[in-house]
Structure 1
Amino acid sequence: MDILAIQADRTVYVDLDGTLIRSDLLWETLFLAARQRPDLMARVPFWTARGKAYLKARLAESVEFDAALLPYRTEVVEALRVERERGRRIVLATGANERLADAVAAHLGLFDAVMASSETVNLTAEAKLARIEAECGDKGFDYYGNSHEDVCLLDKAVEPIVVAPDRAVHRWHGRTGSARIDETPGQLKALAKTMRPHQWAKNVLVFVPTVLMQEYLDPGMLFACVLAFLSFSFAASSVYILNDLLDLDADRRHRTKRHRPFASGRVPIPHGLALGLGLFLSAFAIALLLPPGFGAILAAYMVATTAYSFFLKRMLLIDVLTLAGLYTVRIIAGGSAAGVEISFWLLAFSIFFFLSLALVKRFTELQDFGTGATRSSTGRGYVDADMETLAQAGIASGFASVLVLALYIDSFEVAQQYSEPYLVWPLCPLVLYLIVRIWILARRNEMHEDPVVFIMRDWRSQAMIAAGGLMFLLAAYV
C-alpha cells in the first residue's frame, strides 16, 4: 500500500477555535450576546459556575450566529480542500458548542462529521483525544491544532499540523519539527491599531478653552491640558476596543471595517480586553492628578460612550446627538482641567458643528452599505431612504454653527476680549468652507473616514484651521 493510500485511510481532525478560524467562539458568542441580548449578561456568572460546557451551550442558543462572517484561515481551508479532493475523511473536532460547530461545517461543506461540546461535555484536550481514539482505533489520525489544549492530540497524531501556535504549541513544535501553517502577522502593530491612535486628534479639543482665553502661555494650564489629553485619549481607546468587540459581526459585513484587527482575527479578543482594561485604569490614574471636576466629567464621558457602544448607536438620531455631545464634553473637560470658564457661545457652536459632522459619518456609512441598507445590515437605526434627510439635517446644523459663531463675534464678550474683534469675522467663511466642502465630498462618495479625522489629515482643512488661528492671534495682539 503506497503512502497516499495509507493517508487516505486516516481521518483528518481539525480544531476550530484558533485553528480553522482566527478567533474563539466562546468569546465571539459572549460579545454577540452582550450586543444582541444584554439582558442576559447578569446570568453569565451563574452559567459559568455550572461549567464551561454549560456556558458555551447557553451562549450559543442565545445569539443569532452567522458562520459565514467568521475570520477563517484561508491556508487551512485550502489545505482541507486538497485533502478532501484526495478522498480523505475530515472531521471538525472542536471544543466549541455543537450548535455553532454544525453551522460552521454546513457553511464550509468540507467536513464529513462534527465532534463538539455539548451542554454537559467540554470537548477539549484529553476529552477530545479520548473521543478521537475511540473512533479511530488502531488506524491513527492526523490533527490540526494550535493551543496548549491541543498538545496531547498533536503528540498522538500520526501527522500533526500546527497552525498559528500559542507558546505551549510553539515549544512543542520546536521539539518535534512537525508541519506548520502560520499566517498570523505580527500582533504588536495590530494591537496598537485597536487603540486607534489617529482618533486621539479629537482630544485636542481639551486645549480649546485655554487657547480661546489666551492662556496658552501659562505652563501650568498647558500641562493640565496635556494630562487631560492623555486621559481622554486612553479612555477613548478603551471604549474603541469595547465598541469593536461589540460590533464584530457588523464590522465583518462592512467593506472596510472587516479589516479591523478584531474583526479580521489578527488580535485575539482576550488580548484586546486586557489592553482595554489597562487603558481604562490609566485614564483614571491620570485624572487623579487633575481637579476632581475633571474626573467626574471623565466618568460621565465613559458612561455615555459605553451606553453608546451597547445601545445608543442603534437609536435613530439619539446616536448622532450623543456623538455631538461627546465632542462637547471634551471641551468642557479641558476647561475643568485648566480651571477655565467655558463660554455659552463655545458650547452652542460645538453642539451644532459636531452634530453636522456626526450626520456626515452616518451618511457615509449608509453610502458604503449601498442600496437596500437596513437597520439590521448597518447595525444602526437608519435605512438607505434616510440619506437625504441626514444630508439636509447635517448641512442645516453646520450652517447653524456658523450663525452661532457670527452672533458670538458680534457679542460684547468678543469686543471686550479682543483689541481688533473685526479680524475674527473671517472665521465665518472659513468654517462655512469646511462644512460645505465636507458635505460635497460626502455626497460625491469621496468621504471614506471619520470626518473629524479627515479634517485633521486634509491639508485644505488644516490650512483653514491655521488661517482661523492666525485671525484669533491678530485680533488679540494687533
Structure 2
Amino acid sequence: MNDLEPAIGTRIPAAALIRLARPAQWSKSAFCLLGPFYGLRDLLRTGGDAMAIAQAAIVTAVAFALASSACYVINDIVDREADRLHPRKRTRPIASGQVPVKIAMVYAAALTAGGLASLVLLPEPMRWWTALALIAHVANVLLYSAWLKHVAIADVMSLALGFVLRMMGGCAAIGIEPTVWLLNVTFFLSMFLAFGKRLGERRVLLAAQVGKPLAGGEGLAVAHRKVQKAYSDAFLQMAVVVTGVMTLGTYALYVQSRPEAPVLGFNLLWLTILPATFGLFRAITALDSGLFDDPTELAWKDRAFQLAGALFVALTLGVAIVEDKLPGRHTDPSPNGVAAIATPEQILSARPEPTDRSSI
C-alpha cells in the first residue's frame, strides 16, 4: 500500500469523492447542447416537441458528465505520481492519498454505469447512437491515459476528439446529423482548448518554479507531463493563436454562408462574432499570463468571459427569433447550415435514396 493512501477501513470523506468527480469540469458537457441549440428551430418546424428535445439534450449532457467524471478518475489514477509534483494537482484526492486507488477504480466503474444507464430515458432509436458516441468518448480517454498523452500532437487531438464526440452525442440524442460546418467549428475550437491547456499548464508550472533552476526552460512542466518536452513556448503560443483564428474564421464563414436577413441592411448573425472574438482572445490572454492552466476554467471563474458567452447565446437566440418572424423565412433552410435534420426512421434505414431533411 502506498504510504499516502488511507489505511484499510478508513472512512473516505464524501467531499473527496465529489472533488474526484471534478464537477467543475461538467461545463464541457455544454458541447452536447450545440446540436440541439442550433437545430431546435427546424426540429420544431418539422413537428418536434420542445420538451422532448430539451429532455433528450439534458439527459445526454448528464450522461457525458458522469462518463467524463469516470474518465477523470481513471486519469487521476494513472497520473497520481506526476500530480504530486504539481503545485495545485498534488491536492487532488488520489494524489494526496485521501482516496485509495482500488476505491477510485470502483467509483469510476459506477460513474460509467450511471452515464450509460441514464440513456434509457432517450427514445429507442436515439439511445443506441448516443451510447455509441459515449462509449467512443470513454475509449478515447482510456487510450489517451494509456498512450496518446505521451505523443506530441496526438495528445491534443485526442483531447479535441473528446469535445467532438460530446457534440455528436448531443446530435444523435435528438436525431440530427452534424454537418461539416458544425464539425469544423467544434474541432478547431476543441484544438484551441487542448493547446490552450498545454500552454496554461506550462505557464502555471513555470510561475511555480520562480527562483529555481529551469531545465531548458521547461523544469516542472516536463516533470509533470513528459510530452511538454516536445513543445516549446513559441510553438504552443503559435498553436493557440492559429487554432483560435481558425475557429473564428470557420464560424465567420458559416455566418457569411447564411442567407442575409433584410433587417438593418446586413446579416444580423454577424453580431455574434463580436462576443465570440472577445471571449476567445480573453482566453488567450489569461492562458498566456498563467492565470489558468485550463481554458475551460474561464467558464466559471472569469466574469468577463461569462458575460461574453451569455451575450453570444442571447444574440444567437435573438437573431433566430427575429429571422423566424420575417416574411418568407419558413421555407426549407439553406443547406449550408450547422445541423442537418434526419428522422429516426431515416437514421435506422439508411436508405440510399434522397431523404427529406432540412438544415440550419
Q: Secondary structure at the match of 1:261?
A: coil
Q: CA deviation at 1:430?
A: 1.8
Deviations for 1:316-351, whole angstroms, at most 9, x for unmatched residues?
Answer: 011111111211111111010011232321111111
Partner of 1:269: 101
Q: Please tell me whether residue 305 in structure 1 is matched to residue 141 in structure 2.
A: yes
- Could you say if the C-alpha distance between residues 209 and 274 of structure 1 is closer, same or farther in structure 2, counting changes exceeding 3 Å? same
CA root-mean-square deviation: 2.2
- Could you say if the C-alpha distance between residues 475 and 385 of structure 1 is closer, same or farther in structure 2, counting changes exceeding 3 Å? closer
Deviations for 1:332-390, whole angstroms, at most 9, x for unmatched residues?
Answer: 11010011232321111111112112111101212233232368513231228611111
Q: Please tell me whether residue 23 in structure 1 is matched to residue 1 in structure 2.
A: no
Q: CA deviation at 1:454?
A: 1.6
Deviates more, 1:256-265 or 1:204-213: 204-213
Alignment of 1:138-177 (within 5 A): 147=8, 166=9
Q: Secondary structure at the match of 2:267?
A: helix
Alignment of 1:47-446 (within 5 A): 147=8, 166=9, 187-215=13-41, 218-290=50-122, 291=126, 292-370=128-206, 371-372=214-215, 373=218, 377-383=223-229, 386-411=232-257, 414-415=258-259, 422-446=267-291
Check conservation: 2:204, 2:291, Cα contact below 8 A. no
Q: Secondary structure at the match of 1:341?
A: strand
Check conservation: 1:409, 1:425, Cα contact below 8 A. yes
- Distance in 2, Cα, partners of 1:224 & 1:214: 12
- Could you say if the C-alpha distance between residues 392 and 200 of structure 1 is closer, same or farther in structure 2, counting changes exceeding 3 Å? same
Match of 2:306 among 459, 462, 465: 462
Deviations for 1:180-213, whole angstroms, at most 9, x for unmatched residues?
Answer: xxxx8x6110111100011111102111111112
Equivalences, count: 300
- Could you say if the C-alpha distance between residues 385 and 362 of structure 1 is closer, same or farther in structure 2, counting changes exceeding 3 Å? closer
- Could you say if the C-alpha distance between residues 333 and 385 of structure 1 is closer, same or farther in structure 2, counting changes exceeding 3 Å? closer
Q: Which residue identity does 1:315 align to in structure 2?
A: V
- Could you say if the C-alpha distance between residues 456 and 368 of structure 1 is closer, same or farther in structure 2, counting changes exceeding 3 Å? closer
- Could you say if the C-alpha distance between residues 436 and 188 of structure 1 is closer, same or farther in structure 2, counting changes exceeding 3 Å? same
Match of 1:452 among 276, 292, 296: 296
- Distance in 2, Cα, partners of 1:259 & 1:272: 15
After the TM superposition, which segments of 4 or more aligned residues of structure 1 sit over 6 Å from their partners? none
Q: CA deviation at 1:406?
A: 1.0
- Could you say if the C-alpha distance between residues 376 and 451 of structure 1 is closer, same or farther in structure 2, counting changes exceeding 3 Å? closer
Q: Which residue identity does 1:342 align to in structure 2?
A: P
- Distance in 1, Cα, partners of 2:244 & 2:182: 14
Q: Secondary structure at the match of 2:178?
A: coil
Q: Secondary structure at the match of 1:266?
A: coil
Q: CA deviation at 1:419?
A: 7.4
TM-score, normalized by length of structure 1?
Answer: 0.59
- Distance in 2, Cα, partners of 1:384 & 1:304: 22
Q: CA deviation at 1:456?
A: 3.6
Considering fraction of residues, name the structure with more strand: 1
Q: CA deviation at 1:424?
A: 1.1
Check conservation: 2:279, 2:309, Cα contact below 8 A. no
Q: CA deviation at 1:429?
A: 2.6
- Distance in 1, Cα, partners of 2:301 & 2:205: 24
Bigger RCO of structures 1 and 2 (CA < 8 A, at least 6 apart): 2
Check conservation: 2:248, 2:276, Cα contact below 8 A. yes
Check conservation: 1:201, 1:453, Cα contact below 8 A. no
- Distance in 2, Cα, partners of 1:473 & 1:313: 38
- Distance in 1, Cα, partners of 2:231 & 2:56: 46
Check conservation: 1:315, 1:380, Cα contact below 8 A. no
Greater Rg, structure 1 or structure 2? 1
Name stretches of at least 5 consecutive residues in structure 2 with no aligned partner.
Answer: 207-213, 323-360
Check conservation: 2:222, 2:228, Cα contact below 8 A. no
TM-score, normalized by length of structure 2?
Answer: 0.78
- Distance in 2, Cα, partners of 1:338 & 1:377: 44
Q: Which residue identity does 1:472 align to in structure 2?
A: T
Name stretches of at least 5 consecutive residues in structure 1 with no aligned partner.
Answer: 1-16, 25-145, 148-165, 168-183
